[in-house]
């Protein structure tokens, strides 16, 4: 009886050890196909899409590349957008400061 139980325990432990060894490569393969890996692909696709959209927007002569005047127009638009963003940020900070001072000084 004790021998039978010992054999059963040893067989179970051996089966678990084999399963653990075989599970390693499966888990590593699963890590490569997680949503994080899919996000990286999506980010690369998003960048390519944005590049195509910018090219379509600024490539006035449709030669597939941005010439110096087209690059200048793109840069001017980006600078304008950045200035507007800075202005909006400053405005939000002023409004927050005014709200805070109104709350502290009723």
Residues 30-69 have pLDDT tens digits of 666 656 555 677 888 888 988 999 999 999 998 988 899 9
Token pair recorded at residue 70: 């087209």
Give the predicted TM-score (pTM) of the model: 0.50
Residue 76 banded pLDDT, cuts 50, 70, 90: very high
The DSSP secondary structure of 28-81, one letter per residue, reads: HHHHHTSHHHHHHHHHHHHHHHHHHHHHHHH-TT-SSS--HHHHHHHHHHHHHH
Predicted pLDDT of residue 103 = 72
Q: Where are the domains of the chain?
A: 2-104
| Helix 35-58 and helix 68-104, axial crossing angle in degrees, nearest 10 | 120
Which has more pLDDT, 106 or 47? 47
**CA–CA distance, 44 with 31 (Å, rounded to integer):** 19
């Amino acid at each position: 009886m004790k021998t039978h139980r010992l054999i059963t325990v040893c067989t179970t432990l051996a089966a678990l050890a084999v399963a653990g060894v075989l599970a390693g490569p499966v888990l590593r393969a699963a890590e490569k196909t997680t949503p994080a890996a899919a996000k990286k692909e999506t980010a690369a696709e998003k960048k390519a899409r944005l590049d195509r959209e910018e090219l379509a927007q600024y490539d006035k002569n449709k030669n597939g590349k941005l010439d110096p005047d087209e690059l200048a127009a793109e840069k001017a638009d980006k600078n304008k957008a950045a200035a507007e963003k800075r202005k909006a940020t400053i405005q939000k900070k002023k409004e927050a400061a005014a709200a805070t001072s109104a709350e502290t000084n009723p």
